Structure 1
């Protein structure tokens, strides 16, 4: 209580009444896969497609930035996520070798610094390959041709005065051997630039000349001091090595590159710090399998680790792809024999989908990115309690395989959610089951509704920690949780004509006896009656004789 030591009027603010519990977001996705550039093995927040391109893209041959990478599906999946209603996600770019070797991998350089004539430790020019470093770029620095003469100084390009009033050597004065010749070779194409200079006001300034004339490289001048002749690049041959695409180069990879570690904050486990993530997809897992870098046991190990991660965090779903090109019968074997997962924190989708690739030609990709976007769209438009099924899939040409009703009859009961095309209805997700054998957790919206409620109440009751553990605290906690769940019920997420039928909250002396209070424990019991999707709608018909009653 405040002390009052002198007369006057004192204003105090007191906290009274309920503390509203805010619902947590359930629309944030996470993607783990390969991209041509960008931060590696750390979750990067992405709010839209252009931000993804800017962060993980590289310059292609046409001079445009692109995030697409041969053999990888990450870019297509992130695009599909935003195109289907997603609003924000985290992206973890994998760099194979960082986890298994225990040290950081040195990636191929994106640029090359040429040493100056004065010292190999002092850079002169920075070479940047147009179109990204997809193949080696060879740069040769040669002396200027004998007939070349430095241009006469122009205007204030000549010598000035130093602090003592003496003639000073201007770095751009053209004194000495300030010219050189550059030869650039890439993929059999050669360019030669005679008698260029790093003098900024020289008529053949190397940066300006290459910007206009070279299709292979651009130049970034390194700011430096000293005479121009000493800053000229040293004569020699230099190589800007191509980046290695592990998916196409036959490089080494194992399942640990995908799984990562919590200590190293890499791979899937790096998402431990991204608490708002509600769903995770690893589309490039199947790309690695297609390229022979992982076998099916490796794929299973990564998916098992992903499910374990989701169960441990208890607030996110694993969206699983099946291996490519499987028939429905092979998918049954993959689900029941090869993997045999049993978890309410995972859902499997089949088949792959056909889209227009970056070059405009059809290509098949895993469906997980599309499904993640539909999860987000359904949550925003209807609520987390609405099944993300019977929803249109945007941005695809067709399913890679047309699934019939009889084929889905064998897939739906084992928890494989199908993507099907219907006449006049387009392509839709036609299933909303988890991989759980427990009927209580059979449906994706039930699992995700509980995730939403649990995380919201968890965050909304943090204020109660270290409060006096008495009946007053129990009443306030009951009141706040009841108010929150009443809102959830009114949104249609809980079953019952009244709030009393839809849920109950208990926090009293019976639940918190003296021995628990002595140990600093306060228990709250919450029970919900979730609504479940109308998966099977049965309409019974019979003949009616007509006439009177």
Structure 2
């Protein structure tokens, strides 16, 4: 209590005790590849907030030859992305380095804000494994894997390729990434296989898209990962991370490397291959929002995976103040209050399923979750459950005839 020396009215600012948990960022991407100037800022991870900034850092007047990395950054910004990190591996560079010095993907491990990971132009099994392994290890991001440029049989996209089936990614003379041999196979005599392995933290999009190159002005085919990342960011900003980033136009795309038919899509979708399709009158759109998780997995939908990451990150960041606090009833009550208030806001945004907050989530932190042995180990444990809204991939209509005409009603999704 303060000491007062004369009569009067004194005002004190008393902390409320509540520490609101803010949302975590979900729209910052990271791209690893070869820049137009392969010697520019090699071995550094730099933040990019505009196309002009990318040109200033990675494409001077003497180096205007485009690369998949440059087209990906432009596509990301053009489709709604606002901030990304870029790592230039240089001519002949690899996604992962050897030895004690960090390089390639390893440079991004210290960048906490990255939530979308891609390596435009690296589409061999070794590169896919590097992307997926990093996303799984950090558990704060989702990787976007690119397909090979020339696929004439969609069944090859449903067969899993293994890193041992291809040599590490090679580079042509101009430094543009390409797969080791162009046709990775599980064995010398077996059928071609291009699909990355199963993972809850990775996605796979097909096919390549035709765009106007931002540096040369020519129409070229390019990997879709940069444009896809931009659409993720755009959907996050307009609707929220709980909205599946699909049925969205691909800005800048004028054509596709191949047009997938409905029967082919029926084969690809269950295998977690997100197809980019052309629809007459609507243009080129993303028409899939699945991860590479198993068909029966609760993480097979991309928005469910990304929303869970966003909630986990927000809670982890917003409860850091609790470290070293006395592990007692007061702390447990604070945990329930702060996390409950945060999840209520998430529910009000439409991200959780339920008519009331009680139906949408629960937070349990008490003596049952924190018995004496847990407290003695210096831990505090809270159990949190959420009901996530899943996308309506299949909308079914029932058509019935009656005497007055025709009646159509939606019966499920």
SS in 2 for 1:272: helix
- Counterpart CA distance in 2 for 1:264 and 1:69 is 29
SS in 1 for 2:47: strand
Deviation at 1:492, TM superposition (A): 0.4
2:117 aligns with: 280
- Counterpart CA distance in 2 for 1:430 and 1:94 is 32
Give the alignment partner of residue 350 of structure 1, picking from 206, 211, 235: 206
Contact preservation (8 Å) 1:261, 1:267: no
Give the alignment partner of residue 528 of structure 1, picking from 386, 395, 401: 386
Contact preservation (8 Å) 1:86, 1:374: yes
2:65 aligns with: 69
Contact preservation (8 Å) 2:125, 2:196: no
- Counterpart CA distance in 1 for 2:368 and 2:311 is 24
2:166 aligns with: none
- Counterpart CA distance in 1 for 2:250 and 2:382 is 41
Structure 1 pair 322–334 and aligned structure 2 pair: CA distance change class (3 A): farther
Structure 1 pair 8–285 and aligned structure 2 pair: CA distance change class (3 A): farther
2:147 aligns with: 322
Please, what is the CA RMSD of the aligned residues? 2.0
Per-residue CA distance 1:255-306 (angstroms, 9 max, x = gap): xx212369523101110011000001101314xxxxxxxxxxxx21221121
Question: Pairwise mapping of residues 286-435 of structure 1 onto structure 2 (< 5 A)?
Answer: 286=123, 299-327=124-152, 328-333=154-159, 337=193, 339=195, 341-357=197-213, 358-435=215-292
SS in 1 for 2:241: coil
SS in 1 for 2:15: coil
Question: Pairwise mapping of residues 40-189 of structure 1 onto structure 2 (< 5 A)?
Answer: 40-60=42-62, 68-69=64-65, 72-95=67-90
Give the alignment partner of residue 498 of structure 1, picking from 329, 346, 356: 356
Q: Which runs of 5+ in 1 are unaligned?
A: 61-65, 96-245, 247-251, 287-298
Q: Which runs of 5+ in 2 are unaligned?
A: 163-192, 406-413
**1:486 corresponds to 2:344:** yes
2:30 aligns with: 30
Contact preservation (8 Å) 1:335, 1:414: no
Contact preservation (8 Å) 1:411, 1:417: yes
- Counterpart CA distance in 2 for 1:428 and 1:318 is 20
SS in 1 for 2:397: coil
Give the alignment partner of residue 469 of structure 1, picking from 321, 324, 327: 327
Deviation at 1:311, TM superposition (A): 1.1
Instruction: Kindly name which structure, 1 or 2, has the bigger radius of gyration based on alpha carbons.
Output: 1
Structure 1 pair 427–484 and aligned structure 2 pair: CA distance change class (3 A): same
SS in 2 for 1:30: strand
Per-residue CA distance 1:404-448 (angstroms, 9 max, x = gap): 111111100000000001011110000000000142001000000
Contact preservation (8 Å) 1:32, 1:284: no
2:403 aligns with: 545
Per-residue CA distance 1:322-374 (angstroms, 9 max, x = gap): 11111212222356955551111000000000112333332100000000000
SS in 1 for 2:137: helix
Structure 1 pair 12–465 and aligned structure 2 pair: CA distance change class (3 A): farther
Contact preservation (8 Å) 1:262, 1:270: no
Question: Pairwise mapping of residues 190-201 of structure 1 onto structure 2 (< 5 A)?
Answer: none
Contact preservation (8 Å) 1:42, 1:265: no
Query: TM-score, with normalisation over the residues of structure 2?
Result: 0.85
Contact preservation (8 Å) 1:259, 1:306: no
Structure 1 pair 484–261 and aligned structure 2 pair: CA distance change class (3 A): farther
Contact preservation (8 Å) 2:158, 2:195: no
Contact preservation (8 Å) 2:157, 2:194: no
Contact preservation (8 Å) 1:81, 1:373: yes
- Counterpart CA distance in 2 for 1:469 and 1:11 is 32
Contact preservation (8 Å) 2:20, 2:338: yes
- Counterpart CA distance in 1 for 2:269 and 2:84 is 29
Deviation at 1:40, TM superposition (A): 1.3
SS in 2 for 1:505: strand
Deviation at 1:12, TM superposition (A): 5.3
- Counterpart CA distance in 2 for 1:464 and 1:14 is 19
- Counterpart CA distance in 2 for 1:8 and 1:513 is 50
Contact preservation (8 Å) 1:350, 1:418: yes
Contact preservation (8 Å) 2:129, 2:196: no
1:130 aligns with: none
Structure 1 pair 351–334 and aligned structure 2 pair: CA distance change class (3 A): farther
- Counterpart CA distance in 1 for 2:345 and 2:104 is 38
Structure 1 pair 532–353 and aligned structure 2 pair: CA distance change class (3 A): same
SS in 1 for 2:400: coil
Deviation at 1:7, TM superposition (A): 4.2
Give the alignment partner of residue 449 of structure 1, picking from 298, 301, 307: 307
Deviates more, 1:263-272 or 1:377-386: 263-272
- Counterpart CA distance in 2 for 1:468 and 1:541 is 63
SS in 2 for 1:535: coil
